[in-house]
Structure 1
Amino acid sequence: MTDRRVRPASVLIASAIALAGLCYSSWVLQFVLKIDLDPVDSFLSELDAEDKPYRLVFATADMISGALLMPAAIGGLLLFPRRRLTTIGWVALFCFAASTIADVLLPLRDCVPGESGCGGPSELFPQLHQPHALTSTLAVTSIAVAAFAFSLAAFRYRRWRILREFGLVALVIGSAATVWLLVADNLPGHYALGIAQRLQVSAMSLWLVALAAAVVLEGREWTEPS
């Protein structure tokens, strides 16, 4: 395998991952579009729920993100040398992409803020009673596995400085937000879960950008033997 063949392919893979990360952060359009949802208490699933006027915008962004990451993950798995940790990372990234697409196909239903079946101040994680919860949980778990696998690989193989530094920061932020969500779910009262989830998803997007940068800027390290 020569650099002439690897370089264009790695650029394509990196571009797909970076664009997917950008699309996955489409929730920021909430502050541009006329959406009557409080970002402090509402969940992102409410933005593309079946009864929301801008569902097509957010659903399309998530669908593009998943559609880009699936071939990117397959490409990374086939193009770069097989190492245990990176193989786990690419497979987990593929699972994240598939779960994201499933999220779109199984949206939150009958979403009325503050009532059963939708996030809001009246109940913590009420959307867990819907099938959408399974795909969301799989998505978060998959990208967490991917991020941890690639981060461990970066330290173990002493490569991919971007993942060891910027990527690790994104991973720590995402992990802290996840702990925030999980702990607050078991406590009485309200703890700005909407903010926690937005931090979590933002960290996911930033980590995808870090992975894309590592692939394109440190492409030779991906092809050299450990």
Structure 2
Amino acid sequence: MSRSRTRPVAALLLSLGALAYTAWVLEVVVRTGLDPIRTYVSELAAADQPLGGLFRATDLVAGLLVLAGALTALALPARRPWTVTGWLALAVFGAATAVDSRLPLSCAPTVDPECAARETAGLVPATHTAHAVSSGLAMTGALAGMLALTIAARRYRIWRPLARTGPLVVALELAATAWTLAAVAAFEAGKGTFSLGAGQRLQVLLVAVWLAILAVSVARERA
């Protein structure tokens, strides 16, 4: 692929990945039976949920698109340490998200006391543990990619939209991640959810917003 085509292809893949990663907002218009303030986003894709197949499919598509976009972007010229680190981290995020979609929860622990009890007792399928690992890896990759590429945009004076707005989005993402982790710890300690769903939805929404800004930045960059 020529350099002139690499940039728009990478931007298109990233923008489509960002769109697919926000498929969970469909819960606003379709009845899922899950409270978005209290429940994990991944519970929408649980094996026992009526729309689980749809949300697993959109997660798979999102992960593969971001993975493809990040690998395509690695072929762009003028590779530098921060850009290479960022694209590799986004590739990890994409791959882990795709794997995550193949390891769904068997039930929704935040709304099903029996499911929560089985999970606490270790009586749920191994996919619950594997899902937690892949989800953690995906979010770690997303955070690392956001930090590295935002630093790259400012340090190397590239991707102007990202250089301007990236720091704010990253700061909000870190705050949302702290909220989510604290809420997860509270839930696992039996102290309630502390609006776990709202925190996590903000977390994944900010990742999608940042990806969209990155896509626009890459598309507008001059060769």
CA 1:116–1:81 in structure 2 vs 1: closer, same or farther (change >3 Å)? farther
Match of 2:204 in 1: 201
Deviations 1:126-168 (A, max 9, x none): 9996221000000000010000000111121122221122222
Instruction: For 1:200, give the aligned amino acid.
Output: Q
Q: What pairs up with 1:16-165 in 2 under 5 angstroms?
A: 16-111=13-108, 113-115=111-113, 117=115, 130-165=129-164
State the identity as a percent.
Answer: 36
- Structure 2: how far apart are the matches of 1:103 and 1:61? 11
**1: CA distance between counterparts of 2:206 and 2:141?**
14
- Per-residue deviation, 1:43: 0.5
Aligned residues: 211
Cα distance in 2 for partners of 1:92, 1:47 equals 26
Q: 2:103 touches 2:127 (CA, 8 Å); kept in 1?
A: no
Shift of 1:99: 0.2
Partner of 1:178: 177
- Larger deviation: 37-46 or 180-189? 180-189
Q: TM-score, normalised by structure 2?
A: 0.87
- What residue number does 1:122 align with? none
Q: Secondary structure at the match of 2:141?
A: helix
Tell me what 2:121 maps to. none
- CA displacement at 1:63 relative to structure 2: 1.0
What SS class does the counterpart of residue 10 from structure 1 fall into?
A: helix
Whole-Å separation in 1 of the counterparts to 2:165 and 2:2 = 28
Whole-angstrom CA distance in 2 between matches of 1:185 and 1:157? 37
Preserved contact between residue 163 and residue 210 of structure 1 (Cα < 8 Å): yes
Deviation at 1:7, TM superposition (A): 2.9
**Deviations, residues 150-196 of structure 1 (Å, cap 9, x unaligned):** 01111211222211222222222211100112234445444211100
Q: CA RMSD in A?
A: 2.3
Please give the alpha-carbon distance, in whole angstroms, between the structure 1 residues aligned to 2:94 and 2:44.
Answer: 19
- Unaligned regions of 5+ residues in structure 2, if any? 117-123
Measured in 1, the distance between the counterparts of 2:86 and 2:172 equals 19
Offset of residue 8 of structure 1: 2.3
Matched-pair contact (CA < 8 Å) for 1:173–1:199: no
* 1:191 partnered with 2:194: yes
Query: Which structure 1 segments of 5+ residues have no match?
Result: 119-125, 221-226
How far residue 204 of structure 1 moved from its aligned partner, in angstroms, is 0.4
**Alpha-carbon distance in structure 2 between the residues aligned to 1:104 and 1:174:** 22
More off after superposition, 132-141 vs 69-78 = 69-78
Instruction: Select between 150-159 and 126-135 the one with higher mean Cα deviation.
Output: 126-135
Question: Is the Cα–Cα contact under 8 Å of residues 6 and 75 in structure 2 kept in the other structure?
Answer: no
Q: Tell me the SS of whatever aligns to 1:80.
A: coil
The answer as to whether partners of 1:151 and 1:163 remain within 8 angstroms in 2 is: yes
